[in-house]
């Protein structure tokens, strides 16, 4: 059985391998060693292992082996037949304190040198990549900066020597320190890369907008962090220009739209009872389209403000059932028009959650509006509310902080299935998929929803199938503390 194992295992190895009994007699030699040594199996099996050593090395190698035969060690010596320099690793086989034999593995020193050259080359390439990266990079170990690249020196104004002498928090703006302190204090709690925006403080005192990405590294039980800092000053300036542009467009579009709306109302009053029913229908269409334009302008501004972080939420403890019920009332006319029923799957108790009621009402409105649009005539929309206790499986699956309770909100409609490849894209700006002909919109509602959910430290996702329809799920903490 052991011989079969040696034949299968030993001959699968790409390096030389020999098995000796406890007396040092060769009992197995693999094909790689035969090729390496240019010796035949007949010349080796049942011979003392010293037969493979070149005569000029034999004496000192045998002496070293006698002194160290009960421990692991390595030796460099030459092989008898071709005087090839090799490195051999000796591993005693011990069971219940009894020596059974030895495993010997062999590598040519030329191969070792080749590996060393490859490692040196890889190190040089790594160094070049790091030094020429567009991100400032540093490695933190035990809260100390161990390594920095040239770009980080440029961003901070400090030299590498100076950065290694200071605390990393000294280059972080005071308002952003709370974001990074928990990560530095307990790097063992970071299991996957995290990223967020922070301001760093230049040596000369001015602040720079950056995007920070933190990558955890664990080796031999030690936790280190790699920090990547990217200067996003230019992007921030572009965002400001975009926000200012939308504000200007909003003002310039709202004024003529308001005039059109008022003029239309006056005109409708003037011709009242003088037009056929068809004329009244056209006035209704005009008013509906004007309202849609106002909503479009509001959505454009809302998306811009959310993305630039200019919205501050007003968190309050709110009865979520009551908030949803009030929002549903605003859609009664649309629900009746399509004869859609609302099924509420609420808990029996009052469920309070810390949210911004105005913003979260917008989330529910957008999702309800979406559900109504895609629901068939005489369809059903199901609203699920559920308290998720700490450490529940779903929190780990969604990579949420798992030691606090959450609210799970689900809004299901019986409309068309959303293909898997679109279930992430659908939350992007101006992303629309043709699920149902005649559905209008430019794809901003779900972008607003996702951004507001993010501001509530939550997550949103879609589950869609032909059997169960499409459900939008939202997971947010019950408290923001």
pLDDT score of 65: 86
Q: Whole-angstrom Cα distance, residue 81 to residue 104?
A: 18
- Residue recorded with tokens 């440029």: 154
Cα→Cα distances 168→136, 173, 232, Å? 13, 11, 19
Q: Whole-angstrom Cα distance, residue 280 to residue 320?
A: 40
Of 88, 73, 101, 80, which Cα lies nearest the Cα of 3?
101
Q: Whole-angstrom Cα distance, residue 481 to residue 477?
A: 9
Burial (0-12, 13-18, 19+ Cβ within 10 Å), 202? middle
pLDDT score of 476: 93
Q: Whole-angstrom Cα distance, residue 58 to residue 75?
A: 12
Could you tell me where the beta strands, DSSP code E, fall in 346-389?
352-355, 380-388
pLDDT score of 332: 85
**Do 431 and 443 contact (CB within 8 A), yes or no?**
yes
| E strand or H helix that includes residue 261 | helix 233-270
Phi and psi at 331, nearest 5°, equal -105, 5
- pLDDT one-digit tens code per residue, 240-267: 777 677 667 766 777 788 888 888 888 8
Residues of the chain scoring pLDDT < 70 = 1-2, 110-127, 219-221, 243, 246-247, 250-251, 304-305, 307-310, 429-443
**Do 226 and 195 contact (CB within 8 A), yes or no?**
no
Q: Which domains does the chain have, with CATH numbers?
A: 2-108 (3.30.450.20), 133-231 (3.30.450.20), 235-307 (1.10.287), 316-477 (3.30.565.10)
Please give the distance of CA 104 from its chain centroid, rounded to a whole number: 45
């Amino acid at each position: 059985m052991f011989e079969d194992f040696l034949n299968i295992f030993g001959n699968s190895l790409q390096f030389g391998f020999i098995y000796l009994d406890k007396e040092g007699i060769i009992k197995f030699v693999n094909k790689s060693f035969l090729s390496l040594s240019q010796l035949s199996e007949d010349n080796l099996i049942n011979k003392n292992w010293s037969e493979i050593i070149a005569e000029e090395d034999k004496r000192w190698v045998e002496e070293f082996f006698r002194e160290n035969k009960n421990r692991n060690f390595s030796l460099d010596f030459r092989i008898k037949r071709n005087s090839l320099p090799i490195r051999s690793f000796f591993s005693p086989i011990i069971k219940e304190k009894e020596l059974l034999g030895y495993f010997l593995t062999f590598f040519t020193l030329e191969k070792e040198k080749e590996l060393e050259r490859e490692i040196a080359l890889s190190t040089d390439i790594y160094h070049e990549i790091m030094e020429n990266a567009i991100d400032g990079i540093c490695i933190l170990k035990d809260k100390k900066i161990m390594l920095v690249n040239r770009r980080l020196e440029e961003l901070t104004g400090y030299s590498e020597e100076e950065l290694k002498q200071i605390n990393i928090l000294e280059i972080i703006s005071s308002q952003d320190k709370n974001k990074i302190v928990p990560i530095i204090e307990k790097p063992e709690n970071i299991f996957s890369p995290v990223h967020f925006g922070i301001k760093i403080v230049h040596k000369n005192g001015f602040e720079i907008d950056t995007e920070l990405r933190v990558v955890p590294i664990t080796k031999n039980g030690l936790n280190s962090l790699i920090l990547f800092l990217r200067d996003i000053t230019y992007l921030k300036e572009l965002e400001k220009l975009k926000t200012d542009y939308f504000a200007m467009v909003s003002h310039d579009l709202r004024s003529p739209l308001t005039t059109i709306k008022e003029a239309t109302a006056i005109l409708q009053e003037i011709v009242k009872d003088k037009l056929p029913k068809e004329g009244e229908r056209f006035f209704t269409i005009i008013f509906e389209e004007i309202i849609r334009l106002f909503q479009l302008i509001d959505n454009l501004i809302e998306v811009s403000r959310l993305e630039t972080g200019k919205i501050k939420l007003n968190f309050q403890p709110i009865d979520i059932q009551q908030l949803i019920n009030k929002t549903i009332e605003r859609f009664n006319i649309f629900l009746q028009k399509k004869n859609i029923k609302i099924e509420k799957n609420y808990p029996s108790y009052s469920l309070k959650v810390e949210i911004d009621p105005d913003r979260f009402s917008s989330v529910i409105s957008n999702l309800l509006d979406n559900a109504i649009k895609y629901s068939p005539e005489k369809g059903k929309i199901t609203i699920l509310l559920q308290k998720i206790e700490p450490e529940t499986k779903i929190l780990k699956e969604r990579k949420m902080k798992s030691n606090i309770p959450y609210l799970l909100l689900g809004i299901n409609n019986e409309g068309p299935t959303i293909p898997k490849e679109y279930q992430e894209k659908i939350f992007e700006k101006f992303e629309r998929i043709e699920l149902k002909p005649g559905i209008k919109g430019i794809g901003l509602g779900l972008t607003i929803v996702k951004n507001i959910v993010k501001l509530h430290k939550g997550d949103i996702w879609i589950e869609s199938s032909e059997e169960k329809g499409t459900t939008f799920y939202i997971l947010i903490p019950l408290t923001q503390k």
